Amino acid sequence: MTHQNDNTSANKVWFITGASRGFGRVWTDAALKRGDKVAATARTLSSIADFKEKYGTNVLTLELDVTKPDQVKTAITKAHAHFGRLDIVLNNAAYGLIATIEEASADDIRALYETNIIGSVSVIQAALPLLRKQGWGHILGISSNVGHVTLPVIGYYASSKWAFEAIHESLAAEVQSFGIKVTIIEPGAYATEFGSPDSLKFASGLAIYEEFKTQFLNGLQTMERGDPAATPGAIFKIVDAENPPLRFFLGSNSLPWVRSTYAERLATWEAWESVSIEAQGNLVKNNQF
């Protein structure tokens, strides 16, 4: 099957994880509506069966738990063989953890990272040999504005997104020469199902933090949220761009927040710069890494 890779055209082939709800569902439906083809994945096929009924042969539905590397590799291979190529690999499967730093158990943290980090890496590692061979591809990693800043009570979730950002930034430099592009999508607060039991886990709580967490969660509930249905156009502009950005804020609230946070960080680093310089000591030549 021959294919002229034209970044400005529609008729792309997507591989999307977490297609059953939230942004994954919205973007799967929107891509299919515009005439693209999608390999849509979810942990249960029944949760995405409606795509097959609605879009027929333009969609391939696959069962996928990203914490199972063998299943990831099988799904990627099937999708590539079925459509003959993969233009966009969208890493969307993730969940949040509500816990103070003291409350979360090692098992809570491991489970979070198994999905949010190791699962995403499994998708990337399974897709890269195929994308390299075809000579193009665009990996979209769905991060968050808390990939730059953090808040109490969601520190472990935010830390998974900080790691996610670092991995994708390194990846972008490593695969550029193969014709593969990488974009980190960083949504702000949206009215998705992210707060549902499937997308949000709670660690066993300690009474001493109960009031603090209640106030924090009440604050989150009153936060202004964006409309998920307004987002597909922005995603299409990213995937259709000749030179897509490495990072992209989805929504209007993130940039002002991150701008002020980085201004504070820079001010602190600069205030302590003389101490930093003092700690450098005399320059030493050292060829060891």
Domains and CATH numbers, the chain: 13-278 (3.40.50.720)
| pLDDT at residue 201 in the model | 86
pLDDT range class, residue 161, cuts 50, 70, 90 = very high
Q: Is the pLDDT of residue 46 over 70?
A: yes
SS3 readout for the chain: CCCCCCCCCCCCEEEECCCCCHHHHHHHHHHHHCCCEEEEEECCHHHHHHHHHHHHHHEEEEECCCCCHHHHHHHHHHHHHHHCCCCEEEECCCCEEECCCCCCCHHHHHHHHHHHHHHHHHHHHHHHHHHHHHCCEEEEEECCHHHCCCCCCCHHHHHHHHHHHHHHHHHHHHHHHHCEEEEEEEECCECCHHHCCCCEEECCCCHHHHHHHHHHHHHHHCCCCECHHHCHHHHHHHHHCCCCCCEEEECCCHHHHHHHHHHHHHHHHHHCHHHHHHCCCCCCCCCCC
pLDDT tens-place string over residues 81-119 = 999 999 999 999 899 999 999 999 999 999 999 999 999
pLDDT tens-place string over residues 187-225 = 988 876 555 455 678 898 899 999 999 998 888 777 778
Q: What positions carry a catalytic annotation? A: 143, 157, 161
Q: Is the pLDDT of residue 241 over 50?
A: yes
Interval 240-263 mean pLDDT: 95
| pLDDT at residue 197 in the model | 52
| pLDDT at residue 2 in the model | 37
